[in-house]
A and B are shown apart, each in its own frame.
Chain A
Amino acid sequence: MKRIGKAALTLLAFLALFAFGFGWRDVQQGKLPSVEAFGRLLGLAPSAAFSESSSKVFRQAFQTIRDGYYKPVDSSDLKYAGLAGMMAALGDPHTQFLEPRATKEFLLETRARFAGVGARLSRDPLGARVESIFPKGPAERAGLRREDLITGVNGKSVVGKEIDDIVKDIRGKEGTLVTLQVMRSGVEKPLTIRIRREQVVAPTVESKMLPGSSFGYVAVTLFSEPTGEQFADELRQLERRGMRGLVVDLRGNPGGLLESAADVLSLFVEDKVVVKMRGRDGNEEVVKTAKGAARAKRLPVAILINKESASAAEIFAGVMRDYRMATLVGEHTYGKASVQNVIPMIDGASAKITVAKYFLPSGQDISRKVDEDGQYLSGGIEPDVEAPFDFDEEFVLGNPERDFQLSKAVEVLMGKLGSVLAVPSPTEAFEKASRALDA
């Protein structure tokens, strides 16, 4: 009897220890052990069961449409359209159903390295606008210029085409030629430019002192692995040249690595939260800036943003704003602050699903919301100083005289510097200045 009691006690103790181990993850994160996880362990998970009536709605409609429509309907196309519609109903542009063909393209894009011409393009009603040219790339050598309009690729018009498709047309096998039809302001006749495709590496950071001022200008085109280091180098150079204020240009920056944005932020703020990442189960992960790297804590900063600043770029801007380290100038940002899992299905299709969201230090969720047609509803970060892009000026990126948004940013820095000079404590004055601008 005593023996059995002892054995039971031992077993109980083991069970308790197992439970302790099982709940350790929560304890580590300063939470109570998750009952839900225990439930999942025992198969008692709160069922993700999908109600039968909804399933019936789908099945019936599928049949009605396939059989009732007056033309033959491809079952598989109809099925995929239904799945795509189901995911679109969530109003999250990043949760998508990818058909087998789209899945293949997606994987190719993320894995393969394409050869291109070395230019960044943005959308335009006439085709594609050349946003910037990579230094020493094939496009630069062939004479393509910033602000050229690409209206045709290999003899085919690209007017009205989506920018993604135009880029796809321009990219191709390394060593092959691509012919671009180009419109350039001041040139009456369209130009034809032939470029040999090469493996191109996009530079991510470029800097200069703005002419006639003591302000530095750094354009970050993407947050990739070396960006943190590159940014620190450029900053050091600008400091050596007597920089007293800085414009960080994140216009058109689609994001990239969050870690890299955190690296750059570490130059400005020390040991502070960058983002909190929250998943479905409430688990929270926090990304922080490093200690001891902040060399520009008191530098007046203006950040340029626009509708194409996304993900890591808008997070960077939002964090700087939340810590009152910078004034944001330009247009509202895209609104992508989430993590997606791509889950492959056995028919070759896949589901891209948002599984976690980033929240700024202030707790703001900047996720973009769209309607069923994919039209923008809300999301992104609003600038402190609104400055719309002026389509009619002869735009030259990075030249305050030809770049209205940049000239606004310079104005903001002048304002900040003015107060800094007038008041003994720079930080206080800076805060006052930005408060004045916020209003």
Chain B
Amino acid sequence: MTDTQRSMITAGLVCGAAASVVGGIAVRERVDLGALKLASAPSSVKIGSGLLASRTVETQIPEGEYFDQMAHLLKREYVDPIKDDLKLATGAVRGMVGSLDDVRSVFYDPKLMRSVENARKGRYEGIGADFVFVRAKGQAASPGGIPMGGGGAAARSELVPRLVASWVVPGGPADRAGVKAGDWVDSVDGHWVVNTEVIDRIRTASQRVQSGEWPESKLRELRKELREMLDSAIMPYRAMERLSLGETGQVKVVWKRPSGVKTTVIQKSATAARAVEETSPGVFRLRLVPGADQSLSNAARGRKEMTLDLRGQAIGDRRDVVLCLTAIGPAGKYGQIKREGGKPASPLQTEKGAAPPKLTILVDGQTRGAPEALALALKAKCGAKVAGQSAGDPFLTELRSLPDGSGYRLVTGTFSPTAPAKGGKSK
């Protein structure tokens, strides 16, 4: 080997060594960048870089794939490690339910879901009442409005509903404190429950002041009042949590009702409520919960006449209606469960049935949803007499649970009886 050859090799080796080091630094740079700047880094093959924007035209991404990829992205990019995948999934469900902008379709946190399920089994905690969100009639939309809570980002633009105690468990804490079905919650422990009524008041006042009808001082007063309220406000959903969870402690609740305001201090405790209860001879209060059908058919056995009390009942699902109809009504078709926008309707019908006694059904302004559908169905099919005026919203729901204990209730249709029955208004 000549000296030239030798020095060539040495030079080659030195260059190679330097290139190795530089190459190492460069490659590291890319690897690290790949973890930080996805959009520009080609190294992000693993998460399906196909979804990241390049020069391509805007394309739709199928939801399942989109969700998986976004979850990957979050898990890789977010500053804190995300250990709980399920949290992301249930968060997404919360967001989707909230986006329906329907106060009857509600997402429940695990704690609230547990209490909803317990109440269906007859075990109430908190103040012992059923709660529903109700949008007051003629409630105006508020631009950039106030969220109802519990609904994720998409619920932000919706109207804020009232939190109504639709039914009060007899003998329970709320009942003893004098709460009546239909009362709605104005504040809990000094926290004002957000709703649009005050916004509407402010808007009216502002218009009056603009038009010169009222002095400006009036608006200032209102402004001060609203600011104080907003400082301590909670969302209706959180208020429901405070009222329906826990078996110890006191809660101070201010209620509103058409006749005025009622302030109560309620000691929380556990209360039981049966699915069917004979409140006076021949009068049975019915809650649309699992087991109601069995008790109902026992109660109806051998009777020629009976009265079903559905006053204040707003809870129940489609399945519960079908079971109760099977228990007390004849087999056959009762009507249709209607849906909107070209979604097909489905029949509400039973396979089996019973010879019904002569029925009278008591309803009131809080009777809505599945219980109202039941009343309308029995009226249409077996000529049950309906006494009172129901809410006029016989929607049907499904309750779904999720693996982490949370769940949601979804409106799946509105009941429409076969024979015309004037929208639940009858005497």
Binding site for B on A (CB under 8 A): 10, 13-15, 17-25, 37, 40-41, 43, 45, 47-51, 53-55, 57-59, 61-62, 64-65, 68-73, 75-90, 92, 95-97, 100, 124-126, 151-152, 157, 159-162, 165, 181, 183, 187-190, 278-281, 283, 338, 341, 343-348, 350-351, 353-357, 372-375, 391-392
User: A-facing mask of B77-110, CB < 8 A → 1, else 0?
Assistant: 1111110011111111111111110000100000
Whether A24 contacts B24 in the complex (CB less than 8 A), given A41-B31, A70-B414, A85-B152, comes out as yes
Q: Taking the complex as formed, is B11 at the interface, i.e. its CB lies under 8 A from any CB of chain A?
A: no
Contact indicator B142/A55 (Cβ below 8 Å)? no
Quote the shortest CB–CB distance from A39 to chain B (angstroms).
10
When the two chains form the complex, which single residue of B79, B94, B210 contacts A354, counting CB atoms closer than 8 Å?
B79
Q: Decide if A87 touches B74 in the complex (CB within 8 Å).
A: yes
Partner-binding segment picked from B48-56, B248-256, B308-316: B48-56
- Complex contact A346–B50 (CB within 8 A): yes
Interface centre among B13, B17, B147 (most CB of A within 10 A): B17
Check B93–A344 contact: CB distance below 8 A.
no
What 0/1 pattern do residues 379 to 401 of B give for CB contact below 8 A with A? 00000000000000001001010
Is the Cβ of A125 less than 8 Å from the Cβ of B226? yes
Residue in A43, A48, A100 whose Cβ sees the most chain B Cβ within 10 Å:
A48
Q: Which of B4-29 contact A (CB under 8 A)?
A: 13, 16-17, 20-29
Query: Which one of B170-178, B276-284, B338-346 is at the A interface?
Result: B338-346
B296 within 8 A of partner (CB): no
By beta carbon, the residue of chain B nearest A392 is B224
CA distance A165 to B156 in the complex (A): 14
- State the CA gap A68–B54 with chains docked (Å): 36
Chain B interface residue count, CB cutoff 8 Å, equals: 117
Asked if A71 contacts B341 (CB within 8 A), the reply is yes
User: Given the complex, which residues of B lie within 8 Å of A55, measured CB to CB?
Assistant: 64, 67-68, 71, 89
**B25-43: which have CB < 8 Å to A?**
25-29, 31-32, 34-39
Task: Name which of B117-125, B215-223, B324-332 contacts chain A.
Answer: B215-223
For the complex, is B322 an interface residue (Cβ under 8 Å from A)? Answer: no
From B26, B80, B96, A65 is in contact (CB under 8 Å) with B96
B interface residues (Cβ-Cβ under 8 A, vs A): 13, 16-17, 20-29, 31-32, 34-39, 46-47, 50-54, 56, 58-61, 63-64, 66-68, 70-82, 85-100, 105, 142-145, 147, 149-154, 156, 199, 202-203, 206-207, 209-210, 212, 215-216, 219, 223-224, 226-227, 230, 234-235, 237-238, 338-343, 395, 398, 400, 402-403, 408, 410-414
Most buried by B among A47, A338, A347: A347
Q: How far is the CA of A24 from the CA of B37 in the complex (A)?
A: 21
**Complex Cα–Cα for A79 and B414 (A):** 25
Cβ-neighbour of A40 out of B31, B38, B216 (below 8 A): B31
- How many angstroms from the CA of A367 to the CA of B412 in the assembled complex? 41
The SS class assigned to the A binding surface is: mixed
Whole-angstrom CA separation of A84 from B60 in the bound complex = 17
CA distance A81 to B402 in the complex (A): 18
Q: Which residue of chain B is the closest to A189 with respect to CB atoms?
A: B212
Residues of A within 8 A of B13 (CB): 10
Residues of A close to B68: CB separation below 8 A: 50, 55
A-B residue pairs in contact (CB < 8 Å), sample of 5: A51-B86, A64-B410, A70-B343, A73-B100, A355-B78
Given known A-B contacts A40-B35, A54-B85, A61-B93, A86 and B67 have beta carbons under 8 A apart: yes
Q: Which chain A positions have C-beta within 8 A of B100? A: 65, 69, 71, 73
The smallest C-beta distance from A6 to any residue of chain B, in angstroms, reads: 11
Task: Name B21's closest neighbour in chain A (CB-CB).
Answer: A21
* A77: B residues at CB distance < 8 A: 99
- The complex places the Cα of A353 from the Cα of B77 at a distance, in Å, of 7
Beta-carbon contact of A346 and B54 below 8 Å? yes
Q: In this complex, what residue of B is CB-closest to A160?
A: B199
**Does the CB pair B78–A345 fall under 8 Å?**
no
Q: Is the CB of A160 within 8 A of B403?
A: no
Is the beta-carbon distance between B153 and A61 smaller than 8 angstroms?
no
A346 and B51 contact, CB distance less than 8 A? yes
CA distance A351 to B341 in the complex (A): 32
Instruction: From known contacts A57-B93, A85-B154, infer whether A374 and B27 are also in contact, taking CB-CB under 8 Å.
Output: no
A contact residues around B94 at 8 Å (CB): 85, 88-89, 372
B202 to chain A, nearest CB (A): 6
Q: Are A343's CB and B91's CB within 8 A?
A: no
Is A83 a contact partner of B66 (Cβ separation < 8 A)?
yes
* Cβ–Cβ contact A391 & B224, under 8 A: yes
Which of A54, A92, A392 is within 8 Å of B86, CB to CB? A54
Contact B82 A347 (CB under 8 A): no
The smallest beta-carbon distance between B135 and chain A, in angstroms, is 15
Which B residues are CB-close (under 8 A) to A18?
A: 20-21, 23-24, 27
Given contact pairs A58-B92, A71-B343, A79 touches B66 in the complex (Cβ within 8 A): yes
Known contacts A61-B93, A346-B52, A374-B153; 7 further A-B pairs (Cβ under 8 A)? A21-B23, A22-B28, A49-B72, A87-B74, A89-B91, A351-B70, A372-B152
A83 to B219, CA, bound (A): 41
CB-based contact B153/A81 at 8 Å:
yes
> What residue in chain B is nearest A73 (Cβ atoms)?
B100
Q: Which residue from chain A places its CB closest to the CB of B337 in the assembled complex?
A: A70
